[in-house]
Chain A
């Protein structure tokens, strides 16, 4: 058992360092706040006067009355936007809809010299369809995906099933002929709406921000009312400045349901001043479409492989592969299965496999070297993940004394139920044993 002192030391050694980008972002905003506080210092005298005035009970009542009246006026404006349709009512109506189908288009243009992410976007476009059901979950199908980089030109398809009842997400990638399963047991379905690009999340966003009616127009012959928000905090997160927001929603006057949503945001990154433009467009809404439960049962075509999803792939079989790799690379079982220990042992090893690996990474530096090493040692990493995850219950590992020739000695064991332990022996065959049998086996281990 690792002593508590070790854990304490490990925690004390935890050390994260801020990035240069973060430093710039924080300092710029903090120094700006410091400057602003100087401008408002004189205003800080005001509360004292205010407090003196507010000592009078009559003044308090008068102020309270004014505040209540102002709130009522504000609420009535907010509810109706002065035009007869209130977005809050639209949202309430939307939430009663059982299923909706919509199309989605996103276009992001930014600096191509940065790695792709929403924060560092290169130019790209996605076309996607959504089927969102209150009962079964949602399906997103990417029908077009293109990076607007002449050197990269790429298109792909991806179908994602978000299944809240099963607490599962399945992503199928036909181009790669593979699929990935994600355990969503820790995921909050509602919190995750924006990440799934669920259209309902965007409708909520505009209703939650300051917005106004731009009046009425027509789309496809139907009368619609247009609402707009230019609130700079719209759909925002830190790290951007000079945000220019133009989010609009078109609501059918008859059905009081959205027919189109267009969000355009231009913003400048704080740390490098680079500009980025984003457009999110939802259109072709089909409200209350009938849905078939079977549609939400993803079918994985024959021949598709499961993608490397570490938590899913860490199992007994891959753990045994990891143990085999240990023997190949180190000549024997390692004393410990900690990854840092395994890697340092590989560095020291002079087995043919280890020498080959070292030759392969020779000349590589930094990222490339680490990446190559990580890929090459994948079986060992599965072993580590398995031992720390699925096999962590009442587990033990005896690599210090057991060798590949020890067919009858316990190399690794873990509890599978109250009366059963799973055991991997020195020769890597595995079996399930009773606690009594395990006690006997462990008694026979060399001290």
Chain B
């Protein structure tokens, strides 16, 4: 926490080292969150890119009032939500260009992720977005329900419900794996 405050302060004075340090510290965490929310690597990378560029742009006036990690996670959620709203799910039809870029059968792509984790990702993509956000923010970022409620603009009990339903659905979808 204190380190983050110092880094933010340095960024306010234009320190590139501090900006790099913040990026190094949170990049993987934010990419994981963005990919969990959006499901697509390229879109997740774009979101993380935009979050950091926007953060850098406003760094000189930025006032850290809470936890930097949560602030950045909130930015990722907001951008991810914008993307989802504007594009719905950006699923590509398989023309030549698509099949060359991101063919499911492309061995490189297949090998990039272990298939078991891929099942989890697929399951996460199938639960409603609000539930997905609640589950990922709580479990992956450690955000409290109260903070998620503030972010989503709903009551804490609603977030509790979304989290519980989301988790139940995931459990039901992945259930078969455990019974094997």
Given the interface contacts A16-B35, A34-B16, A37-B60, does A6 sit within 8 Å of B28 by beta carbon?
A: no
Q: Which of B47-55, B65-73, B150-158 has 4 or more CB atoms under 8 Å from chain A?
A: B47-55
Kindly report which residue of chain A lies nearest to residue B45, judged by CB atoms: A22
Q: B117 and A14: CB pair below 8 A? A: yes
**Residues of A contacting B97 in the complex (Cβ-Cβ under 8 angstroms):** 118, 195, 197
Are B95 and A196 in contact (CB-based, < 8 A)? yes
> Is A18 touching B48 in the complex (CB atoms < 8 A)?
yes
Does B82 sit at the interface, judged by CB under 8 A? no
Q: Report the Cα distance A187→B170, complex, angstroms.
A: 23
How far is A400 from B173 in the complex, measured between Cα atoms in Å? 21
- Of chain B, the residue at the smallest CB distance from A25 is B49
Interface of A is mostly: mixed
Q: Does A52 contact B (CB under 8 A)?
A: no
8 Å CB interface, B23-37 against A: 23, 27-28, 31-32, 35-36
Is A116's CB under 8 angstroms from B115's CB? no
How far, in whole Å, are A58 and B58 apart by their CA atoms in the complex? 32
Q: In the complex, how many residue pairs between chain A and chain B have their CB atoms under 8 Å apart?
A: 211
B residues 74-106 touching A (CB-CB < 8 Å) = 87-101, 104-105
Interchain CB contact under 8 A, B20 and A27: yes
**Contact present for B61 and A14 (CB under 8 Å):** no
User: When chains A and B are docked, how far (Å) is the Cα of A184 from the Cα of B89?
Assistant: 12
Choose among A16, A26, A367, A371 the residue that contacts B23 (Cβ–Cβ < 8 A): A26
Q: Determine if A30 and B58 form an interchain contact, defined as CB atoms under 8 angstroms apart.
A: no
The answer to whether A387 and B176 touch (CB under 8 A), given A11-B136, A310-B104, is: yes
A291 interfacial contact with B, CB 8 Å? no
Nearest-CB distance from B122 to chain A (Å)?
Answer: 8
B143 within 8 Å of A by Cβ?
no
Binary CB contact string for chain B from 141 to 166 against chain A (1 if under 8 A, 0 otherwise): 00000000000000000000000000
A98 → B minimal CB distance (Å): 21
B115 — which chain A residues lie within 8 A by C-beta? 339-340, 381, 384
Q: Is the CB of A195 within 8 A of B49?
A: no
Task: For residue B72, give the distance in angstroms from its CB to the closest CB of chain A.
Answer: 12
Closest to A38 in B: B14
Choose among B27, B88, B105, B140 the residue that contacts A11 (Cβ–Cβ < 8 A). B140
Is A186 located at the chain interface by the 8 A CB criterion?
Answer: yes
State whether the Cβ of A113 lies closer than 8 Å to any Cβ in chain B.
no
Considering residues B36, B53, B119, which has the most beta carbons from chain A within 10 angstroms of its beta carbon? B53
Chain A contacts for B117, CB-based, 8 A: 10, 14
Closest to A367 in B: B111
Query: Please, what's the 1-or-0 string for B106-136, where 1 marks a CB less than 8 Å from any CB in chain A?
Result: 0110110011110111001000000000011
A-B contact pairs, 24 of them (CB 8 A): A10-B117, A12-B139, A14-B32, A17-B31, A18-B31, A23-B23, A26-B49, A37-B60, A126-B96, A140-B96, A171-B94, A182-B93, A184-B93, A195-B97, A197-B95, A310-B105, A334-B180, A335-B180, A337-B177, A338-B116, A340-B116, A374-B110, A388-B176, A396-B179
Add 4 more A-B contacts to A11-B120, A184-B91, A336-B177 (CB < 8 A): A7-B167, A187-B91, A195-B93, A397-B176
The interface of chain B, by Cβ under 8 A from chain A, is 11, 14, 16, 19-20, 23, 27-28, 31-32, 35-36, 41, 44-46, 48-49, 52-61, 87-101, 104-105, 107-108, 110-111, 114-117, 119-121, 124, 135-136, 139-140, 167-168, 170-171, 173-180
- The chain A residues found within 8 Å of chain B, CB to CB, are 1-2, 4, 6-8, 10-12, 14-18, 22-23, 25-27, 29-31, 33-38, 41, 44, 115-118, 126, 140, 142, 145, 158, 160, 162, 169, 171, 180, 182, 184, 186-188, 191-192, 195-197, 237-238, 307-310, 334-341, 367, 370-371, 374, 381, 384, 387-388, 392, 395-397, 399
Closest 7 CB pairs of A and B: A2-B178, A336-B180, A33-B56, A30-B56, A34-B56, A339-B115, A33-B57
